[in-house]
Structure 1
């Protein structure tokens, strides 16, 4: 093992960012490098790449690309400069701007690039479907998504033409939150996505991508992006899908991630609905017949739903309330369990939980059981 010197946690993020920008260096190679550095990637910043590359446990294609990088610190700076040029942020797993549900997924990326303002925690549903649904379906999809968002539920999709984009517009119509996970870097948008982005930025939406600047969409990036759409959500709804629709990959990713999967049934003679009908027939999805079923699937009770824009924003919460929220989960926890996981006194914790309830971020069940929304 080469003798490296360690650095700060900020340096750890710079090292991670630089490595993630190397083509072909994915989660497996990153895990191997973590073991190589005894869990401290900052060790790789302390000296030129050529001094440790020979011992690094990475595949040969990655080794060749790393050989072209003189210094990880300089590479990280170049990536950050490209991000700044287009107003792109970088968020790391565990940070408030990184989708909390996605961080729970085994193959979640260690960081994401984003554009927009990431809002406070809430329940979210992935709403996906065909790029070319049957005639007249897109207005329905947009209206359905608007009703979902009116219940305070965030709408997550892929910004693709057709159903995905209609669902984004429906959420924006309601003044609700919507997230788009793209199959390209955020500085390589297609013309339609570039036109959509200003509307997102002006109305509270967010574009996300796991791909570093300069990476264009390809046949391999879209399937991997689908796991992010489902992973960042509490449930997956397929509104319209033919037998070969790409949205079925999102449904399968959601099923493997343990997310509830719903599908809108269609006419058995409608080939455009064959994928949805097959999901229901094979037991891979529940039939969705109303907006209320979507709300229930993500754990929202219609009579308790918080409309978008109401309640306190995340940044307005006290430090104690935000700390208590991090201890909570999507399963009810007793007051004593929350107390044991926090550093707050019983009195301060009680106040923090009341603040979270009033903000619509926490539900209290009978018996002083608290559940994160």
Structure 2
């Protein structure tokens, strides 16, 4: 949890967290400061800010904020305290909780703030779109996202009203994984996002933000967060986008990162689909005609199981395997968690899980984590 981090932060992490909390200081400036410190930001944390701020390679406003603020260890502690007060955790690049696909991408933040449980590695797709698509499209987007998630693919979006939120709900309908990257700090949610958050946390979803506590959304923060949506994903699907839709920023970010970009084509008379049709016409996106196209472009090979209680495959399962399946869900569980929920011996459960895996009814993730399909 966030409140325990103060006891385990390295000097470099302490400096990174403190500097990241200074308004106007971004990834490029942070790297310039690292070079200024001889390759280790921790060297700055061990010295009073007033000793080095005057020579630091930062802009005038940032230098002024540094010089008039607290020393880095105190600033880091203050940021951690604000995180703890709102139940926010911190993940540094390369550490558990930080999206693995985002590590090493250009302009990636050195850390992320998050709420929720970040699951094991899997294929993930960014699904984005207009806040105001044509009438009747939102139920379609929700169902499309549900089918994507049923194939074991995580759904990444921005929690904005309209298509983004419909895609999140679709993933939740399937009991699948969904991530939301926000344009505000996690303690500055707007009312609709605040209402959505409990559903995310309850069903295994995650809210992410690169913004430290106290930062509200603005016109500049929304385009910036789109690079994170694309960077954390294996492909980008533009579900609906008008001529000037913000969803097109995510497509541009996906292009820049070399992620496959797909777009759902729409009626040429439909202004809400002009952006999608334009991406396809210009050769910047492939036409997405089915959920199978999404699975193909993210490299997923889902094994679609027969629904429990139907079909010959289900009938031939042992009673132990059927019982184990009933207690599994789309949030990965440890062997011990499953064992506690079933009336089986460890050996019988191990055999049942193998049977389910061979039948295509569950996935075993590294670390002996089990997820039903």
Structures share a fold, TM > 0.5?
yes
Deviations 1:50-104 (A, max 9, x none): 0111221211111011112131111100100000001100000011210000113
In structure 1, the residue corresponding to 2:64 is in which secondary structure? helix
Q: Does 1:63 align with 2:63?
A: yes
* Whole-angstrom CA distance in 2 between matches of 1:302 and 1:211: 35
Deviations 1:243-277 (A, max 9, x none): 11000000010011000000000000000000000
Q: Give the direction of change, closer, same or farther, for the CA distance of 1:316–1:80 in structure 2 (3 Å limit).
A: farther
Contact 1:292/1:302, CA 8 A, preserved across alignment = no
Q: Does 1:217 align with 2:217?
A: yes
Q: Does 1:235 align with 2:235?
A: yes
* Whole-angstrom CA distance in 2 between matches of 1:304 and 1:140: 21
* Whole-angstrom CA distance in 2 between matches of 1:17 and 1:315: 32
Kindly report which structure 2 residues correspond to 1:97-136, keeping only aligned pairs within 5 A, or say none.
Answer: 97-136=97-136
Deviations 1:176-227 (A, max 9, x none): 0000000000000000000000000111000000000000000000000000
Q: Give the direction of change, closer, same or farther, for the CA distance of 1:60–1:115 in structure 2 (3 Å limit).
A: same
Q: Give the direction of change, closer, same or farther, for the CA distance of 1:83–1:175 in structure 2 (3 Å limit).
A: same
Kindly report which structure 2 residues correspond to 1:30-179, keeping only aligned pairs within 5 A, or say none.
Answer: 30-179=30-179
* Count of equivalent residues: 317
Q: Give the direction of change, closer, same or farther, for the CA distance of 1:315–1:257 in structure 2 (3 Å limit).
A: farther
Contact 1:32/1:57, CA 8 A, preserved across alignment = yes
- TM-score, normalised with respect to structure 1: 0.81
Q: Does 1:300 align with 2:296?
A: no
Kindly report which structure 2 residues correspond to 1:6-25, keeping only aligned pairs within 5 A, or say none.
Answer: 10-25=10-25
Contact 1:112/1:208, CA 8 A, preserved across alignment = yes
In structure 1, the residue corresponding to 2:138 is in which secondary structure? helix
* Whole-angstrom CA distance in 1 between matches of 2:213 and 2:107: 21
* Whole-angstrom CA distance in 2 between matches of 1:148 and 1:302: 10
Q: Give the direction of change, closer, same or farther, for the CA distance of 1:283–1:27 in structure 2 (3 Å limit).
A: same
* Whole-angstrom CA distance in 2 between matches of 1:195 and 1:9: 32
Segments ≥4 residues shifted beyond 3 Å:
302-305, 307-317, 357-362
Contact 2:15/2:45, CA 8 A, preserved across alignment = yes
* Whole-angstrom CA distance in 1 between matches of 2:302 and 2:268: 31
Q: Give the direction of change, closer, same or farther, for the CA distance of 1:172–1:304 in structure 2 (3 Å limit).
A: closer
- TM-score, normalised with respect to structure 2: 0.81
Unaligned segments of structure 1, at least 5 residues: 1-7, 318-353, 363-373
Deviation at 1:233, TM superposition (A): 0.2
Deviations 1:259-299 (A, max 9, x none): 00000000000000000000000000000010011011110
